[in-house]
């Protein structure tokens, strides 16, 4: 019973390149959440998706960031034209229902370094 799977674990990109982070939710979970953890800061909500739908992207920067959760395959967080300030740990979580009252399960994260 695999948990939330994220890959790659580590990603290094040069400024201006694109970063694609993948997240496969737990089996049976159709709700996916992305969070970002910047150095010296807590986890911050970015986006909430269900299959083929973006439910809430209020935490996403307006430019360069996008997310999708297609009918088939993993959820993707895409960062275009990365800058040094995008260096952070990005965590994906999933849940069976679309609520966080009982918490949800996080993956191990992707650590993005922009050089």
Partner 1 sequence: QKEVEQDPGPLSVPEGAIVSLNCTYSNSAFQYFMWYRQYSRKGPELLMYTYSSGNKEDGRFTAQVDKSSKYISLFIRDSQPSDSATYLCAIPGGGSNYKLTFGKGTLLTVNP
Residues that bind partner 1 (CB under 8 A): 4, 6, 31, 33, 35, 40-45, 48, 55-56, 59, 91, 95, 98-109, 111
| Count of beta carbons in the 10 Å neighbourhood of residue 101 | 7
Tell me how far, at minimum, the Cβ of 112 lies from partner 1, in Å: 14
Nearer to partner 1, 57 or 68 (CB): 57
Q: Which residues of 33-69 are buried (b: 16+ CB within 10 A; e: fewer)?
A: bbbbeeeeeeeebbbbbeeeeeeebeebeeeebebeb
Which CB sits closer to partner 1, 61 or 100? 100
Bridge partners of 111, per DSSP, are: 10, 89
Q: What are phi and psi of 86, to 5 degrees?
A: -80, -10
Minimum Å gap between C-beta 3 and partner 1 is: 9
Q: How far apart are CA 63 and CA 25, in angstroms?
A: 26
Measured from the CB atom, is 62 or 72 closer to partner 1? 62
Alpha carbons 75 and 35: distance in angstroms, whole number = 13
Smallest gap from residue 89 Cβ to partner 1 (A): 8
User: Which residue, 17 or 54, is less far from partner 1 as judged by CB?
Assistant: 54
The nearest distance, CB 85 to partner 1, in angstroms, is: 18
């Amino acid at each position: 019973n695999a948990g939330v799977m994220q890959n790659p674990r580590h990603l290094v990109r040069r400024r201006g390149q694109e970063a694609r982070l993948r997240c496969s939710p737990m089996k049976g979970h159709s709700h996916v959440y992305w969070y970002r953890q910047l150095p010296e800061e807590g986890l911050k909500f970015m986006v909430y998706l269900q299959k083929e739908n973006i439910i809430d992207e209020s935490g996403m920067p307006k430019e360069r960031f996008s997310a999708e959760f297609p009918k088939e395959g993993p959820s993707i967080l895409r960062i275009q034209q990365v800058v040094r300030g995008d260096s952070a740990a990005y965590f994906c979580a999933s849940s069976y229902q679309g609520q966080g009252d009982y918490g949800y399960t996080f993956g191990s994260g992707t650590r993005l370094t922009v050089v």
